[in-house]
A and B are shown apart, each in its own frame.
Chain A
Amino acid sequence: MPSHSAQDPEENLPDWLRALRNRQNQGQGDDPEAKKPPVEPSAPSEQSIPAQEPNWLGEIRSRYRREKPSAASEEPDLGDTKPHRVKAVEDSPPEDEKATPAFEERPAVVEDTSAIANETPFEPEASPFPEQEPGIYEDSLQSNQAEVFNENQEAIDPGVLPSWLQALRPGGSFPTEDARSGAMLPGGEEASGPLAGLSDVLPADPGLPRIEKPPAFSPHLEVSENQGLHAAAFTKQLAEMEPPPVDEAGRVARPNRVLNLVIAAVIFLAVLFPLATQSRIAVRPDPQLFPEATNIHTRVDAVPAGTPVLVAFEVQPGLYGEMAPLVTAILDHLLDRQAHLVFVSTRPTGPALAERVLAEQFSANPAVATGAYSQLGYLSGGLAALRGFISDPRGATLSTTSGSPDPWQNASLDPIQQLNNFSLVVVVSSSADDGRAWIEQSAGLLPNGLIAVTSAQAAPLLRAYLQSDPLTLQGLVSGVQGAALYERLRTEDNGLGRVYWDAYSYGIGAIVLLVLLGGLYGRLIRIKPEKTSTAGSKIGT
C-alpha cells in the first residue's frame, strides 16, 4: 500500500509511548549492544536519562554495571522495556535501504533462542524489593532464566513419528507445513503499529484468514521407497515362514462328514441285515429279571371279556418305531381278551398314531375291523384337562372327530362314570413326563394302580413309582426289549418284537463297537503327542 510507505510509524506514536521509548534508548546508552545503529532514527540521546531516572535506580544501575560489565553486555537492562529484535538489529540494512515501510517488514526470525530467554520486555523498571542485594537478585534471575530456557528447549523439540506410523497416515490428509501466517506463529513480532516489535501478539483481525487454495488430499497410501523395501522384506519373510504344526487332536475333533457317513452306514447295515435274513438267533430277555413286565401280563390276563380298558396313547411320532412293537404286543393281548379298547390322548398326534397302529397291525382283527373300540380323541388343556378327565371322564371336553357320534353313546361305556370303572388303565407313553402326569393325577383313584407301556428313555423315571404306597404303578414294560420280553411271555414267536429283537441286537453291537473304537482312537491320539513330548524332553536333557 503506497499510501503508507512514506509515513514513519514512529511519528504516529502517542506522546507517552514516545517518552517511554526515549527512556529506553537512554538506558541503552551505556550498553555496548545498544551503541549499534538504532532501529528507529528518532532515538533520543543518552544525556537525558539521569534527569528522568530516580536516584536510587541510578545507583543500582551503576553498581550493577560495575560488578557485572560482561553480563550486562550480554543481557538486557532491567529497565529495558524495549523489545529486542535480535536478527533484525544485527542484520538491519543501512539507513538508505530502510525506505521500506516498517509494517511490510517480515518479522525477524529469532535464531538465537538465548536472546529470547533473556528477553524481558515487560520487566518493571524498579525492583519491588529495594533492600535486597541486586547481585543476589541478578543471580537468581539468571539461574531461573537458564532453567526456563532448558525447559523450553526440550519442549520445542519436534516429535519424530516412526515411519510405519507416517505410512499409516493417508497421504495429503494433513498439510506438511503450518499454513498459518508468520505473524500468527509463536515468536513472530508485530511489524507495525503501536505494538511493533512485540512478539506473540494476536492478530488484529483473526476473522480474516488468508484465503488460499486448500491443499489437495490424496486418498491413496503414499509409500516411500524405504517403506516399500520394508514391506517387500516383510512379505518375503511371511512367505518363507513354515506353517504352524497341526494339532492332531483338534484336527480330529473337527466335524468329519466322512465319519458321520461311516457311522450311519454301519448302523444301517447292522440293523437291516437281520431284518433281511429273518434272523432269530438272539436270545430274548429272561422274564424272571423283569417282574414288572410279568405283572402286566398277569393284569391283562385278568381283564374280563367285553369290559372297557382305557388306553392313554401318549406317543410322539418320532418314537413310534420303538413303541410300535411293544404297543402291538399289549394291544394284541388285550384284543385277545376281548376287551373294549377306549383310546384317549393329551397329545394332538396321539389319536392319529393310535389309529395308525390299529390300521397297520390289527386291520384283520374283528373288533378293529368292526369298529368295536372307542376313540375319545384329543384331550386338550394339559394337566388341568387330565385332572378333569380323571375326576369326571364323561364331563371332560374332548375333541373327537367331527361328524362322528358321541363315543359315550356306545353301550360298552355305559358303566363308565369314574376312572376306576375301567377294568384296566394302560398308559402308553413315549416320554417320562406324560407317564408321570397320569400316574400322579390318578393316584388314589385306582385301587390297583395302572400299567405303563413306555419307551426305553422314559422307563428309568417311571420305575421309581413301581414300589409306591399306595400303589400307583403296578406294571412297567419298555422299549424293544420289553416287546421281546412280552412276546416271550405270550409264547409269541412271529411278533413284531421278535423281528425287531435281532435287529436291535445287531444295532447295539455295532454301536458298542463304534464307541469302543472311537474311545481307543481318542486315547491313542492323545497318548502319541505325550510320548513325543516326553521323548523330546529326554533328548533335550
Chain B
Amino acid sequence: MNLRAGTPVAAAVAIAAGIFILVSLFIPGFEELRNRFLNWAVLLAALAMLLGLVNLFVVHFDRVRNKQKPLYSVVLIVAMLATFGITVWEGSQGPLATWIFSNIQFPVEASLMAVLAISLTLAATRLMQHRNDLMSIVFVITLFILLVGSGPLFGIEIPIFTRTLGPYLNQFLSTGAMRGLLIGVALGTLLTGLRILVGADRPYGG
C-alpha cells in the first residue's frame, strides 16, 4: 500500500492522533499511551533536526562545488562536521565540546548582544532625526520613563520615576497590553488546533 503524505490516510492518522491526545487530557487512564505518542513525536522531531543538518550540509557543499562564495561555506562545513563529530564522540559535556562552546559560541553570541545594545542606543539617539512625528515623541518619552524608572541614574534615584511612573508603566500599562496579546495568541492557537483536528488545515500535506 502506498502511504504517501498526500493520501487521506495521512490526514486520518494525524486527526486521530490529535483527537486522542486532546481526549486523553480529560479522561484518566490514557496517560501512558499519551506519553508514548509524545515520545514518538520527540523522536520524529530529533530526526527532522538531523535531516535539517544534512540539508544544510548539502546546500553549502553545492555552494562550494559551484564556487558561490565558497569560503564561508567551507568554514561552515568544517566547523559543523568538527563539532558534530566531537560531540558524538565524547558527549555534549566532554572537555573539547565544552571548550568549543565556552570559547567560540558563547563569546560570539555575547558580543552580538553587546553590539545590539550599542546599536539600539544609536537608533534611539537618532530616532528624532529620522521620524519627527507624534509617535516618535511618545516612544522617546516612554523610553525615558522606563530607563529612569528602572534604577538610579549615576547612583542618584529620582523617586517620581523609580517609585511612581516606572512601576505604573511596568505593572499596569505593559501588563494590560501583554494580556491582550496573550489572549489573541491563545485564540489563534485554539483556532489553529481546531482547524487541524477537523482537517481544514493539513500542514503535513494531506
Contact = CB atoms under 8 A, between A and B. Distances in A.
B157 interface: yes
Closest 9 CB pairs of A and B: A518-B125, A381-B42, A522-B128, A402-B91, A522-B129, A388-B38, A318-B113, A509-B153, A281-B155
Contacts of A502: 155
A505 B154 contact: yes
A515 B125 contact: yes
B151 A519 contact: no
B79 to A, nearest CB: 15
A484 B151 CA distance: 10
B204 interface: no
Interface stretch (B2-10, B58-66, B99-107): B99-107
A259 B38 contact: no
Interface string A483-516: 0100000000000000001101110110110111
Contact of B110 (A289, A318, A460, A514): A318
22 contacts: A252-B129, A259-B122, A281-B155, A285-B151, A289-B167, A348-B92, A380-B45, A388-B38, A388-B42, A391-B38, A392-B31, A395-B39, A399-B92, A464-B175, A464-B178, A464-B182, A508-B147, A514-B124, A515-B140, A517-B125, A518-B126, A522-B130
Interface of B: 31-32, 34-35, 38-39, 41-43, 45-46, 49, 90-94, 98, 101-102, 105-106, 109-110, 112-113, 117-118, 121-122, 124-130, 132, 140, 143-144, 147-148, 150-155, 157, 162-163, 167, 170-171, 174-175, 177-179, 181-182
| Residue of A289, A396, A521 ringed by the most chain B CB atoms within 10 A | A289
A62 B4 CA distance: 101
A508 B148 CA distance: 7
Contact of A318 (B109, B152, B181): B109
Interface of A: 249, 252-253, 259-260, 263-264, 267, 279, 281-283, 285-286, 289, 316-321, 348-349, 351-353, 355-356, 375, 377-378, 380-382, 384-385, 387-388, 391-392, 395-397, 399, 401-404, 436, 456, 459-461, 463-464, 481, 484, 501-502, 504-506, 508-509, 511-512, 514-519, 521-523, 525-526
A492 to B, nearest CB: 18
B174 A460 contact: yes
A267 B117 contact: yes
A260 B175 CA distance: 34
B28 to A, nearest CB: 12
A279 B92 CA distance: 39
Contacts of B171: 463
B35 A395 contact: yes
Contacts of B31: 391-392
Contacts of B124: 511, 514-515, 518
Contacts of A353: 106
Contact of A460 (B45, B163, B175): B175
Given A388-B42, A508-B148, A519-B125, 16 more contacts: A263-B121, A282-B155, A286-B163, A348-B92, A355-B98, A378-B92, A384-B45, A387-B38, A391-B34, A401-B91, A505-B155, A509-B153, A514-B121, A514-B124, A516-B144, A518-B127
